[in-house]
Amino acid sequence: MFRLLGLLALSAISLVAADISGVWLGSLATGRRNELRDFAFQFIQHGNTLTGKVYLDSGSTPIIKGTVEGDQISFQTIAREQDGNQINQATLTFTGTLKDGEIEITRQREELHNAGNAGTSVVRPGKQTFTVKRVP
């Protein structure tokens, strides 16, 4: 009986999410010229809930719908992008795995909305994978 309780306690401990709160830095090739852009994630974790901000040269955007399950994370951001005279709003979904003190993240563009034309939807799919490291 005690052996079973001990195994259950160990299983519960191993399922507890790792605390990823803090600032994580990375860079990603983006845009038409694949220019390298630096960015930072400020993660705030409360249990399995993940919030915070993504910081770019152009400003910051909040993290929404964030979760942490063991070594897996997922969250979304809403990005405003300019295309000529048009401002678009894109939903970006991030999923990642914490391993050896780094997080390998895949960014998926979900949808793109023209913010100035009654919300007309344009889809521009694309995935990018990159690694971020925590600032000590």
- Tens-place pLDDT, residues 8-24: 444 444 455 679 999 99
Judge whether 9 lies within some domain. no
Torsional class of 58: left (φ above 0), alpha (ψ -120 to 50), beta (otherwise) = alpha
Does 2 reside within a domain? no
Q: pLDDT tens-digit profile of 65-112?
A: 999 999 999 999 988 776 677 777 788 999 999 999 999 999 998 766
pLDDT at 40 over 90: yes
Number of domains in the chain: 1
Identify the CATH number of the domain in which residue 107 sits: 2.40.128.120
Domain for residue 45, yes or no? yes
Which one-letter amino acid corresponds to residue 124? R
pTM of the model: 0.75
Domain that includes residue 60, residue range: 18-134
**DSSP states along 61-97:** EE-EEEEEETTEEEEEEEEEEEETTEEEEEEEEEEEE
